[in-house]
Amino acid sequence: MVDIFNNKKRSEIMSNITGKNTKPELLVRKALFSEGYRYRLHRKDLPGNPDIVFPSGKKAIFINGCFWHGHNCKKAALPESNKQFWKKKINGNVKRDKTNSGKLEQIGWKSFVVWQCEIKKSTLEKKIKQIKMFLKE
Ligand SMILES: [Zn+2]
């Protein structure tokens, strides 16, 4: 199988989804803020360092980059070179994510994962609705 992304695109994807304050995250934050939601960001004292945090309701939202967090979608396709390395690395990340959401649960927090590929203009509204439902739970 051929890597579906060329090198430029690949490095773009990797750089976009590694750090904090990524574009999908900003879009979600902006949408929630404009609807009156107030939140904290990147709480380092919580397992997994959730991206958007609602302390009063103990709700945490993770905006996950598809590649790094091993989403089952096109954006998460592993590069052909060093495939085993990436596989191991991503599997480790997926395991860590699971452990962290378990830890959050243990201290009474609920978590919600938003995948990078779900945040497009055409799907953002639907996703925000789901987040609002999660926050109401
Ligand atoms: Zn995805």
Report the domain count for the chain: 1
User: What pLDDT does residue 2 have?
Assistant: 52
C-alpha of residue 21 to centroid of ligand 1, in Å:
18
In a domain, 1, yes or no: no
User: What pLDDT does residue 1 have?
Assistant: 46
In a domain, 111, yes or no: yes
C-alpha of residue 109 to centroid of ligand 1, in Å:
24
C-alpha of residue 73 to centroid of ligand 1, in Å:
5
- State how far Cα 59 lies from the chain centre: 15
Mean pLDDT of the residues in the chain? 88
Residue 120 has pLDDT above 80, yes or no: yes
In a domain, 30, yes or no: yes
C-alpha of residue 36 to centroid of ligand 1, in Å:
27
In a domain, 2, yes or no: no
C-alpha of residue 80 to centroid of ligand 1, in Å:
18
Residue 101 has pLDDT above 90, yes or no: yes
Half-sphere exposure of residue 58: CA atoms within 13 angstroms, side-chain side: 10
In a domain, 104, yes or no: yes
Boundaries of domain holding 51 = 7-136
Tokens of 124: 């953002």
In a domain, 125, yes or no: yes
Q: Is the whole model's pTM more than 0.75, yes or no? A: yes
What distance in Å separates the CA atoms of residue 72 and residue 5, rounded to the nearest whole number? 16
CATH number at residue 18: 3.40.960.10
C-alpha of residue 33 to centroid of ligand 1, in Å:
24
User: What pLDDT does residue 3 have?
Assistant: 56
- Per-residue pLDDT tens for 56-86? 999 999 999 999 999 999 989 999 999 999 9
Residue 21 has pLDDT above 70, yes or no: no
User: What pLDDT does residue 8 have?
Assistant: 61
C-alpha of residue 108 to centroid of ligand 1, in Å:
27
C-alpha of residue 72 to centroid of ligand 1, in Å:
6
C-alpha of residue 69 to centroid of ligand 1, in Å:
9
Across 106-131, average pLDDT: 93
Task: Region of 36 please: left (phi>0), alpha (psi -120 to 50) or beta.
Answer: left
User: What pLDDT does residue 84 have?
Assistant: 94
